Structure 1
Amino acid sequence: MGDDMDRSLPPAGWEQVPFAKWWDRGRRILRWFSFCLLTGFGLALFTLLYLKSKPLPPPPIGMTTQLMDIRGKVIDQLDAGEHRDPVRLRKIPQSLIDATLAAEDQRFFDHWGFSTKGILRAAWINLKSRRVAQGASTITQQLARNLYLTHDRTWTRKLREAALTTQLELHFSKREILEMYLNKIYYGHGAYGVERAAHIYFHKPARSLNLAECAMLAGIPRGPGYYSPLADPRRAKRRQELILTRMAKAGFITRRSAEEAKRVPLHYGRPPRPIPARAPWFRDYVIQSAVSRFGLTESQVRSGGLKIYTTLDPARQEAAEKAVARYLNTQDQLEGALVSVDPRTGAIQAMVGGRDYSRSQYNRVFARRQPGSTFKPILYLAALEQGLTPVTRFDSKPTTFLFSDGKYAPTNYHGRYANRPITMGEAIATSDNVYAVRTLLEIGREQAVRMGKKLGIDSSLTPVPSLALGSSAVRPFEMIQVYSTLANGGVKHSPFAIRRIEDTDGQVIARAQPQPTSVIPRPETFVITKMLEKVFASGGTAHRVKQILPRPVAGKTGSTEWDSWLSGYTPDLATTVWLGYDRGKRLPPGTSRLTHNIWGTYMREALATVPPRPFPTPEGVTEVTVDPDTGYRATSACPRREKIWFLNGTEPEKTCPAHREPSPVPKTLDSLWERIKKWWDG
């Protein structure tokens, strides 16, 4: 039996081998775990001490940027729109504090800036929905993000947010953090901070808000555009009721108080209408130019404490605004645009983008519309380059043109035709469409496109027969570049609005560097200018303007069923005016008269202190008296005589064969007659 028992037991030490092995492994794991734990604790302690010793970066405080006109006067001041009225936490109702905690961070006073429960709950919800359906940011995290960071979702930003959140918790008390949060957060409609929000939504200070109003305000920051009661009262009301329920569940208020607050009627104020700034469309363009042209951020421009010196002439801007208002105030929904440039430099002197900035901030100076006949000077410049002259004659009568891609039968305005051959000068003055299409046929469509691009049109120009009549949509901003180039003798300056930008220390950080480019020879621009002067003479399409503006002026009118234009210039100022409807409505009769009146009235006031002067005559041109009915040099017998400028070498050499000079009386007969008279008298 003893032998049997000995055989049933394992050999000595057998049971100790695995135990020792597992015990040794366990001790090693325990040592590594303890090491990692101590190391992690040490790193955490070191990080906390480091963050505690490291001062928080100063929060970016927006400084007002000033826009200056050409005389150094302030046009407008920019502050990034963060209008806020700071208020101490002790003056904020407890109901608003509790509602904010219930809406954003119920355990705010219990955690160290991060909510583990919130993180796990958000992770579970996001995992179930397979998308980012819920965030877990505490109030401290939101404050760190709003003070120092952007809202992009990157790991770098998350790590920086965590560090800044920890620093806020280490450097400030919970009440200080909550006070900063309530004064910093955005509540929509330009309201930053609870005090401003209380005035915007309820027209009262924050300390006077009741429980229902507090719960309503507390629900807005999660989505200012989505939960605003001014945008969607029903959605905002549901959000308010949810917050009141949360407040009761968290013990901030009783259930009865929550139900009573849900039934309290809320009366909202209307957000204040923005006060129109001086030259608001120009101001917006300056901001856009500072960002796109000089590489500044919009934050720098709006709240960087800069001084932006612009090209705006305040007197001319006022004249432009008055002219547009005077003639459009009685026109229902008719819109307009005016842009005026110094052709010698490209400096924008005045800009009006519509009839009422408070109703529409859209700048129609940059709207693409059909230019109509204001495109024709581009066509005729190309024609001069191709050898046509101011006395090249084509028939003005109903005509169907055959192009390689079909037929085209243009018509003149109101069916008016000369029913005879007319010159280029006459075609420009009367805006003859048949002549324009015939010219396009003679020189080729691509020549007109090429000239348009050369003069500054960036929009697409479709090479179809109707291009001659301005069928391709362009912007007034492009047309002013075309006409200012003509006014400057073919030297193009890109229109610009900013002369220089200075930082808070007065250092110039950006400066305009005009780069004039000669794109058209001066003789060609002078010849086309002399023909464009006839547009304002008797019989021209803008002859009424001459009564308003009695000085040398050149330009072209343009009319379609939807657009009315006048682009013109003197040697000192170029201006484009457009009128039309935003939604393609046909123009009422008489719109062209309004366009001409706006243009003429503005130019008269803008040039009131500038003496009239003719367009300077360059070398390379010749003035010849011609018979426009034949295109030859006029004789004393020609019934119509007109002085016309030509490029040297293109002027007519032959005298008019249709109206010859009368034969002179022979001298012998004169002498005989004198003798007879003397004999008779004697």
Structure 2
Amino acid sequence: MKYIKSLFILLLVGATLGAAAVVGIYFYIKPDLPSVTVLKDVRWQTPMRIFTQDGKLISQYGVKRRIPVKLEDVPQDLINAILATEDSRFYQHKGIDPIGLGRAAFNLMLTGEKQQGASTLTMQLARGFFLSREKTYIRKIKEIFIAWHIEQVLSKDEILELYLNKVELGHRAFGVGAAAQVYYGKPLNELSLAQLATIAGLPQAPSVLNPISRPDRAKERRRIVLLRMLDEKFITRQQFDQAVAAPVTSSRHGAEIELDAPYLADMIYNQMVEIYGKEEAETGGYQVYATVPSDLQVEAQNAVVRNLHDYDERHGYRGPMDYLWNKPATEQDEAEGNDPGESDDFFTSEPENEPAPRINREDWDQQSILEALAEVPRINPLLPAAVMAVAEQSVTVLDADGIERELEWQGLDWARPYITDSRQGPEPETAGDILTEGAVIYVRLQEGSWRLAQLPEVSGALVALDPQNGALRAVVGGYSFYQSQFNRATQAKRQVGSNIKPFVYSAALENGYTLASIINDAPINQWNAATGVAWRPENSPAEYDGPIRMRVALGKSKNVVSVRLLRGVGLRQTANHIAKFGFNPEDIPLDETLSLGSGSHTPLEVARGITVIANGGYLVNPYFIERVMDDQGVLMWEADPVWACNPCEESQPVSSEPDVEAQLAAEFGLQVAFKEEEEAREKRAAPQVISAQNAFLVADMMRTGVRSNGDWNKKTYWLGTGWRARNILERTDIGGKTGTTNDSRDTWFSGFHKDLVATAWVGFDDMNRQLGRATRNQNLINRNPEKFNWIGNALVGTEDGAKAAGPAWIRFMQSALNGKPESPIPVPDDIVRVRIDRSSGKLTRRTDHTTLFEYFLQGTEPQAYVLENEVQDFTERKVETKPEPEEIF
């Protein structure tokens, strides 16, 4: 009894000292312990996700991949796998597992090494949120105390949910939701038991146990997880056998991008970073919804890409990128006596002391061809391919996906040799005139068939806006964002050419001119004493009609008439009026070249100016973010644009207690909404910068510019420069204006429907390079003589706004307006319509082909009647036969 008593006292003293030590350690490290109450309101470092207006994911930004999930949405098999492997007594202990700690301590005494951490899920959570992964005694002690605190604050289910969303699982995936997407490209509820077990095995060492980097080790770790599940009776022996035998199926998956619209995504990303800062924007879990519908964005991208290929094909084929074999000798090779197989190209050159380059067909098997093609950049929609066989009028290629394809003659016959931007070689007669075996080329799919392709050197852009509120509806900044991140739709200031004329004509209407005003379309020869040079602005083409009505002058885009109107109104007054359309006054040149479009503006700025004409005179502000949600899907902000209305009778919901962030509201154009109760908010009216009557008259003139006018048989027939638009779209409720600068360095087409404005631009990034001209390709005419191709390869002559930029606008609007009923711009009050003489613009009592009806602002209509001897009967003019379509082109 004496010894038992002594032992009891010793144990009691030891326990007391141990407890005192624990208390002492606790108070010693207490100042360093974080508050775990923050876990009650955790904000995950979740990537920013950007969506189209209709909810299609277009991009995701952020280093960490995380898809937060609720515990009830996690498959039970995954929960069981985690618990069985990491903490089987999770629901029994209070954050610290004495059995596990004892086992770890015993192992430490036996081996002297820290091999077992004995960490519960709660302790792992404590380490993940508040501590590092270093193996030290003080970190373990802190981990224990923090875990104990967590258990006092949170329920077991809350702890488990936090753990499942916090745990690092490799390849930048944090949380089980992100791991399912990264490794399998699926949501959790679609994964098999084997796949769930693989994810459950990752927390131990995610970098070396993941199925992408080390599938062998991942498979062995999966077997251990399944054994633990079997031991804990979470699965049956049959389930175990099936899951263990399953192959390791995993590959790296990116975000589930539903629509690739990188120029749009980049605009939104940069705006969010400007407001929130890079780290907050990329980790705040923001879900940003653009104003752009996915269907319009797709059509815009397709229209620009197709249009640039059409231009590129008109100007000839620059030849294969390289040759795997059968490399032809160049003139330099022949002069120097070089072997054409000796090349410094990336396919055929070899380092010193390496085998000789492969230059013969037998040196290339399919695998080596595919390896060579893998080095060629893929730029959607271009697919690298090698020419395997050349027939009379077709070729067989092996593409980079390992698929053999046949290119028929209709996909080859465009490929005349490129000489310069203005010269092309003869039309090919056979496929051998274009390609030889071994050539490395690009191919692309167009309208269901594969064709020879090349990467266009020319650039283009398209931007579309809702004229009623400025919402961006589509934006394309170039052929490929992955080739060039420069957004030509919003960043490229280029000379606008005749796209400026609608604004010049608006200034004229504001200063006493009418649509029937007669201006002399005759050459101008103005001597400049200061420079000693005469300024001779010319029409393009250099044709002059003499006295001409203002409507016709805009429709035909008469340069000298625009200059005369500028002079009639005054330079300063015209410049001030143009600035009303949203153009930066500093970008408006203060000389007479202003009237011909010497000023440089972005496509977005031009489109904004056109919205004023389309919406009745209101200056709206372009914006591209409709709303911002937090990571839980709660609406934080929504756009509050100004509208083309005054007064604006409709209302929209808005929060009564907004959590306002001044910078976001001011710079981002967003406003908080739907935080608490909803109340009505009136639409904000945009400033009216020109009258509704002025806007209507300009819009009606622009309608003339996209159609054929008059009667051919009565010899009053004439074409607007954008006449193809009306012919193809077959609508009367559209208007537009072409634009071409000197030497065709910039080409434009801007136009509108009451509900949609779009501007297309085509040019080279090198501003000194001209778009040139294309000669007639007889192959294309021979293939389809009954329907001469209006919009692509068959266009000939000097490139201009109608030929180079117009097709992109037409294709886009054709899709955007498909199915929409005709909806012409309403005629405003104080607009009257009277019959006038076609040639003089005066009132007339005649009702024949020499007359027409014209719109006027009430009080500005002509007062005098045309005299009989002033009437011009156009049927008396001698006119050649009506031009056929190919002659027009």
Length-normalised TM-score, structure 2? 0.48
Counterpart in the other structure of 1:555: 736
2:720 match: 540
Matched, 1:63 2:52: no
Q: Give the 3-state SS of the residue equivalent to 1:544 in structure 2.
A: helix
Amino acid corresponding to residue 559 of structure 2 in structure 1: N
Amino acid at match of 1:442: G
Shift of 1:482: 0.8
Match of 1:75 among 52, 57, 69: 57
Q: In 2 relative to 1, CA 576–51 (structure 1 residues): closer, same or farther, beyond 3 Å?
A: same
**1:610/1:639 CA distance change after superposition, 3 Å:** closer
Letter in 2 for 1:306: Y
Aligned residue for 1:521? 691
More helix by proportion, 1 or 2? 1
**2:607 aligned with 1:480, yes or no?**
yes
Aligned to 2:521: 396
1:464 aligned residue (591, 608, 611): 591
Q: Report deviation, 1:619.
A: 0.5
In the alignment, is the contact (CA less than 8 A) between 1:83 and 1:196 conserved in 2? no
Once the 2 structures are TM-superposed, how far is the Cα of residue 634 of structure 1 from its aligned partner?
2.6
1:483·1:569 contact (CA, 8 Å) conserved in 2?
A: yes
Instruction: Give 2:555's aligned residue.
Output: 429
- Distance in 1 of aligned mates of 2:208 and 2:493: 42
Mark the CA change 1:51 to 1:613 in structure 2 (over 3 Å): closer, same or farther: same
C-alpha deviations, 1:104-126, integer Å up to 9, x for none?
xxxxx9xxxxxxxxxxxxxxxxx
- Give the C-alpha shift of residue 647 in structure 1: 1.1
Contact 1:490–1:518, Cα closer than 8 Å, also in 2: yes
> What are the ranges of 5 or more consecutive residues in structure 2 without an aligned counterpart?
1-25, 68-112, 114-127, 145-166, 174-204, 218-252, 313-455, 643-685, 709-718, 774-798, 872-889
The answer to whether the aligner puts 1:283 opposite 2:265 as a matched pair is yes
Letter in 2 for 1:449: A
How far does the alpha carbon of each residue in 1:165-214 deviate from its partner, in whole angstroms, 9 at most, with x for none? 999798579xxxxx9999889xxxxxxxxx99999xxx955999xxxxxx
CA contact (8 A) 2:52 2:58 kept: no
Instruction: Give the direction of change, closer, same or farther, for the CA distance of 1:54–1:63 in structure 2 (3 Å limit).
Output: closer
Q: Does residue 577 in structure 1 map to residue 577 in structure 2? A: no
Aligned partner letter, 2:262? P
Relative to structure 1, the CA distance from residue 52 to residue 647 in structure 2 (aligned partners, 3 Å threshold; closer, same or farther) is same
- Is 1:299 equivalent to 2:426 in the alignment? no
Q: CA offset at residue 296 of structure 1?
A: 3.1
Residue 313 in structure 1 maps to residue 328 in structure 2 = no
**1:68 shift after superposition:** 3.2
**Structure 2 counterparts to residues 320-469 of structure 1, below 5 A:** 320-330=300-310, 331=312, 332-366=456-490, 367-401=492-526, 408-418=535-545, 420-458=546-584, 460-469=587-596
- 1:371-420 residue CA offsets vs partner (Å, 9 max, x unmatched): 110011111111111112222222212212367977532111132222x1
Structure 1 residue aligned with 2:32, among 51, 57, 65?
51
Match of 2:820 among 583, 606, 610: 610
Alpha-carbon distance change, 197 to 354 in structure 1, aligned in 2, over 3 angstroms: farther
Q: What is the Cα deviation at residue 641 of structure 1? A: 1.7
- 1:514, distance to aligned residue in structure 2 (A): 1.2
Taking the aligned partners of 1:480 and 1:166, their CA distance within structure 2 comes to: 66
Q: Give the drift of 1:81.
A: 3.8
Three-state SS of the structure 2 residue aligned to 1:652 is coil
CA distance in 2 between partners of 1:347 and 1:658 (Å): 52
Q: Residue deviations 1:287-311, cap 9 Å, x none? A: 234455xx33343433322222321
1:467 shift after superposition: 0.8
- The match for 1:21 is none
Q: Is the 8 A contact 1:637 1:659 kept in 2?
A: no
- 1:312 positional shift: 1.2
| SS of structure 2 residue aligned to 1:434 | helix
Partner residue in 2 for 1:192: none
* CA separation of 1:272 and 1:631: change in aligned 2, threshold 3 A: same
Change (3 A) 1:50 1:572: same
- The equivalent of 1:635 in structure 2 is 845
Aligned partners of 1:309 and 1:500 also within 8 Å: yes
Looking at structure 1, the residues matched to 283 and 272 of structure 2 have their Cα atoms a distance apart, in angstroms, of 13
Query: 1:402/1:60 Cα in 2 relative to 1: closer, same or farther (>3 Å)?
Result: farther
- 1:599 counterpart residue number: 809
1:379 maps to amino acid = V
Counterpart of 2:435 in structure 1 is: none
**Shift in CA distance, 476/542, structure 1 to aligned 2, threshold 3 Å:** same
**Cα distance change on mapping 1:333 and 1:275 into 2, 3 Å:** farther
Residues 624 and 305 (structure 1), Cα distance of their counterparts in 2 relative to 1, 3 Å cut: same
Q: For residues 160-199 of structure 1, what are the structure 2 equivalents within 5 Å?
A: 171=142
SS at match of 2:276: coil
The number of equivalent residue pairs is 476
Q: Is the 8 A contact 1:394 1:438 kept in 2?
A: yes
Q: Aligned-pair distance for 1:455?
A: 0.9
Secondary structure in 1 aligned to 2:464? strand
Larger Rg: 1
Give the CA deviation at 1:645.
Answer: 1.0
Q: What residue is the counterpart of 1:237 in the other structure?
A: none
Q: Partner of 1:225 in structure 2? A: none
Q: 1:166 to 1:196 in 2, by over 3 A?
A: closer
2 CA distance for matches of 1:166 and 1:348? 58
Change (3 A) 1:657 1:67: same
SS of 2:485 mapped into structure 1: coil
Deviation at 1:635, TM superposition (A): 3.5
Shift of 1:426: 1.4
2:428 is aligned to: none
For residue 302 of structure 1, give the secondary structure of its aligned residue in structure 2. helix
CA apart distance, 1:147: 9.9
Whole-angstrom CA distance in 2 between matches of 1:207 and 1:62: 31
Q: Normalising by structure 1, what TM-score?
A: 0.61
Q: How far apart, CA to CA, are the structure 1 residues paired with 2:292 and 2:845? A: 51
Map Cα deviations across residues 301-328 of structure 1 (whole Å, 9 max, x no partner). 3332222232112221121122122222
Per the alignment, in what secondary structure is the counterpart of residue 349 of structure 1?
Answer: strand
Structure 2 counterpart SS, 1:489: coil
Distance 2:550 2:698 in 1: 10
Q: Assess, with a 3 A threshold, how the Cα gap between structure 1 residues 651 and 403 changes in structure 2: closer, same or farther.
A: farther
Q: Following TM superposition, by how much is the alpha carbon of 1:628 offset from its aligned partner in structure 2, in angstroms?
A: 3.5
Alignment counterpart, residue 588 of structure 1, candidates 750, 753, 772: 772
Specify the SS of the correspondent of 1:491: coil
Contact 2:45 2:66 (C-alpha < 8 Å) held by counterparts: no
Pairing partner for 1:566 from 743, 749, 753: 749
Instruction: Quote the sequence identity (%).
Output: 28
Q: Does the CA contact (< 8 Å) of 2:308 and 2:479 recur in 1?
A: yes
1-structure distance, mates of 2:870, 2:259:
67
* SS of residue matched to 1:365: coil
Equivalent residues of 1:69, 1:312 under 8 A apart: yes
